[in-house]
Structure 1
Amino acid sequence: MIDDLDRQIIDQLRVDGRKSFGEVGRSIGLSEASVRSRFQRLKRRGAIQVVGMTDAVRVGEMEVHLAVRVQHIPVVLVARELSRMPEVRYVASCVGPYDLILDVRCRDLEHLSELLTERVRRVNGVAHAEAFTVLDVVKDSYLWAGFRDVPAGPEQRILPP
């Protein structure tokens, strides 16, 4: 299990995965050794992995969400097959009108068209696939709530306080 200090370490590394353990410790009130020890424990448990993330728009890619309905085959089998595609970054099973939600990255519309028509829709069990192209990301809360969120000022609020 992870505690609040572990979450604070993870949040610091989400902002800058190259931040030193000393810097992380100073920002959350722990020693460098304590941060290192906690980080190693989290890493051993598979709770944390430090990687580089790209911004799709800035690297010239399209970010697309796919909603998929599955019929006549277990959802997990379709999910595994779709997960093998290099463009697919995220696969989740869900309840509601769709069985799977996927996040994919494509070079352009032609690439997206090829992915949908030639590969995704040809997977056994895929009954329907719908694409939602991301135009702008308004919020991406991959951090624990409250770490980086800046509350809206009174002039920016839509609803009254």
Structure 2
Amino acid sequence: MIDDLDRQIIDQLRVDGRRSFGEIGRSIGLSEASVRARFGRLQRQGVVQVVGMTDSVKLGEMEVHLAVRVHHMPVALVARELSRMPEVRYVASCVGPYDLIADVRCRDLGHLAELLTERVRRVNGVAHAEALTVLEVIKDSYLWAGFRELPAAPGERIIPP
């Protein structure tokens, strides 16, 4: 079970995954040893993993969301097969008109076409795959609390409060 202090540690790492345990401890009121112990527990539980993340636009890659309908095959088997593809970075089952959502990164349009036609659509059980190409990322937040953006001023909002 994670508590508020665990969430604060995770948020500190989301802001800067290279932040030292001492810095994190000072900002949330814990000792370096306590932060280290909590981080170790969170890591062993599989709750947290610190990795480097890339910006697909700056790398010149295409970022695509795939919406997939599955027929005549367990969704979990199709999800597992999609997960084996190196371009697929995220797979989730969902409810609604699609059974799976996947996030994909490709070098270019040709790479995307090959991925969809030669591999994704040939997976047993994939009845329909729709590609939604990301043009611009407006928000990509990994924070739970404490470091969130400030809400827009009343004059900046297009939806009334």
TM-score, structure 1 length as denominator? 0.96
Matches of 1:136 and 1:82, distance apart in 2: 24
Output the CA distance in 1 between the equivalents of 2:42 and 2:9.
Answer: 10
Gaps of 5+ in 2: none
SS at match of 1:58: helix
Aligned length: 161
1:1-161 → structure 2 map (5 Å cutoff): 1-145=1-145, 147-161=147-161
Amino acid aligned to 2:95: V
Task: With a CA cutoff of 8 Å and minimum separation of 6, indicate the structure with the bigger relative contact order.
Answer: 2
CA deviation string 1:107-137 (max 9, x = no partner): 1111101100010001111110000001111
Secondary structure of 2:130's counterpart equals: strand
Q: CA deviation at 1:58?
A: 1.0
Q: Percent identity?
A: 84
Give me the whole-angstrom Cα distance separating, in 2, the residues matched to 1:125 and 1:37. 44
User: Residue 71 of structure 1: CA displacement?
Assistant: 0.7
Shift of 1:148: 2.4
Contact 2:62 2:133 in 1 (8 A): yes
Give the counterpart letter for 1:119 in structure 2: R
The whole-number CA distance in structure 2 between the counterparts of 1:43 and 1:146 is 21
- Structure 2: distance between partners of 1:151 and 1:82: 37
Shift of 1:145: 4.4
